[in-house]
Copies of this chain bind each other. A is one copy, B any other.
Amino acid sequence: MIDKVHLHEQEHGKNDSLYGVSQNTIRALEVALEDEEEKKVKKLLQPLHAADVAVVIEYLAPHLRHNLIEILRFRFDPDILTHLNETVREEVVEQIGTREIAEAIIGLESNEAVALIEDLEEDQQKEILDSIPIGERVILEEVLTYPEDSAARLMQREIICVPSFWTVAETLKYLTEEKELPDKFYDLFIVDPKHTPIGEVSLSSLLRELPTTKILDIMRVDIKRIPVLMDQEEVALLFRKYGLVSAPVVDEGGRIVGMITVDDVVDVIEEEAEEDIMLLSRVTESDFYEPLLSTSYSRIRWLMISLVNTLLAVTVISQFQSTIEKMVALAVLMPINAAMSGNAGMQVVTVAVRAIATRELGGANMNRAIWKEILVGLINGIVFGGVMGAIAAFWFADPALGIVLGGALIFNMIWAAFWGITFPILINKMGMDPALSAGPLLTTTTDLVGFATFLGLAWYFLV
């Protein structure tokens, strides 16, 4: 073991070694794979953590990746699969074959096996489950009946429960002698005879107590019980808010059925934030490793929203062709109103979407938040309406044109602010994800109203 560490540190630069895989290693691997030198490849991979092997697999060009998988295919380490990005993982499963993957998966803990299987395509899922022995399969299939993104999918079945009348010494003895313990655990759960969790004792506090102390006297009772059906986003919020390390999962009857640990929640937090980022910019997640054509297809689907949006906007503009013909300055100035209020509105949408996601916005503070945004919109409207109006007035030596642009901007900034916060709230109330549709709705309305107010006011007052 010690030798391995040394080898490891010799091969990589200082900071590089923290990530376990250096550019040099990758380059050496690429050469070895190109030449199909199986022994050299295995030697280079041997000191690497499964997470780093996954990085290498993702990093390689498709034909080298294929060669590498061929070399690794016998006794394939399932931990590598858990670290792979979805797109690449499907490719690897395809290449290795579902029967072999199924054999590898049996070695994983239940929640890791579920995490692997749930992301695969349905036919792959079915094939793998069919190759798993009945005992394991039943557990996996039961978990898979729970909705995706529910607490049930995150939890592991392996937990430690003790009765409250035990002493510290009895508990320690149980922990030493029991063979079927989870790989890692941080809290013991105290249950009543009906298997309802009534308290928690952390390992670190257990060790500091006297052997004769009763568990009842040292357990924390203000514990958070997670319903199996709770959404994973809610689970992550609970862990973050209360600084939890592990928490019991309970079924509808309140009985303990598993536990969720913080390391699984870390991934959820990242996933959920990532989802919001991607949706706000209208891209599909895990886009980076997708092949060319499916990337292009998913981008085009999202851009259809912009297409409709843009076509609506130009339809509005086309109503004012004769006005523009008489005063071409309008064509020059008309993008200002839509662009400025669109950007201002997207600021509001982003703040509102995140505030809803983190439960800061909702309920009693809603009216106050809406009014605040309207006032911010008014102030910003006055500032930018004033600046842009003045610029337009001087540029085209036409004060009336400046007043029309400024007035339109003030109105549309307030409009953008109001809908920027109201759309997310309404969409959330309808039970949908505001990150998905609040942005497109907002830009459509600010574009339409932006062009319509500016050109409409110009038609009425100027032409």
Residues of A within 8 A of B (CB): 1-2, 4-5, 8, 15, 18-19, 23, 26-27, 30, 49, 51, 58-59, 61, 83, 85, 172, 175-176, 181-186, 202-205, 207-208, 221-222, 224-227, 230, 234, 238-245, 262-263, 265-267, 269-270, 273-274, 276-278, 280-283, 287-289, 292-293, 295-296, 299-300, 302-303, 306-307, 309-311, 313-314, 317-318, 321, 324-325, 328-336, 338-340, 343-344, 346-347, 349-351, 354-355, 359-361, 363-365, 368-369, 372, 375-376, 379-380, 383-384, 387-388, 391
Contacts and interface: CB of A to CB of B under 8 A. Distances in A.
A340 B4 contact: no
A280 B282 contact: no
Nearest to A207: B175
B287 A351 contact: yes
Given A15-B227, A184-B205, A303-B343, 6 more contacts: A18-B230, A19-B241, A203-B207, A289-B360, A296-B380, A331-B331
A238 B263 CA distance: 12
Contacts of A379: 292-293, 296, 300
A184 B207 contact: no
Contacts of A335: 310, 313-314, 317, 335, 338
Contact of A299 (B185, B266, B380): B380
Contact of A340 (B85, B222, B266, B306): B306
A19 B358 CA distance: 12
A264 B310 CA distance: 45
A388 B313 CA distance: 13
Given A5-B222, A310-B335, A328-B325, A288 B360 contact: yes
A181 B203 contact: no
A23 to B, nearest CB: 6
A204 B185 contact: yes
Interface of A is mostly: helix
Contacts of A205: 184
B176 A207 contact: yes
A278 to B, nearest CB: 7
A366 to B, nearest CB: 11
A365 to B, nearest CB: 6
A100 B295 CA distance: 57
8 closest residue pairs by CB, A with B: A273-B273, A281-B350, A331-B331, A306-B343, A296-B379, A283-B347, A203-B203, A318-B332
A168 to B, nearest CB: 10
A211 B310 CA distance: 73
Contacts of A1: 221-222
Given A328-B321, A332-B318, A347-B282, A339 B176 contact: no
Given A59-B365, A314-B333, A336-B310, A344 B269 contact: no
A202 to B, nearest CB: 6
A23 B288 contact: no
A325 B369 CA distance: 45
Contacts of A346: 281-282
Contacts of A185: 204
A351 B59 contact: no
A347 B299 contact: yes
B299 A376 contact: yes
Contacts of A274: 273, 354
A361 to B, nearest CB: 7
A449 B363 CA distance: 45
Contacts of A238: 18-19
14 contacts: A18-B224, A27-B364, A30-B364, A51-B241, A184-B205, A240-B267, A262-B263, A265-B266, A269-B270, A277-B277, A296-B376, A299-B344, A309-B339, A331-B334
A405 to B, nearest CB: 11
Contacts of A282: 343, 346-347
A187 to B, nearest CB: 10
B359 A19 contact: yes
Nearest to A172: B207
Given A221-B1, A265-B266, A391 B311 contact: yes
B266 A175 contact: no
A287 B303 CA distance: 29
B270 A240 contact: yes
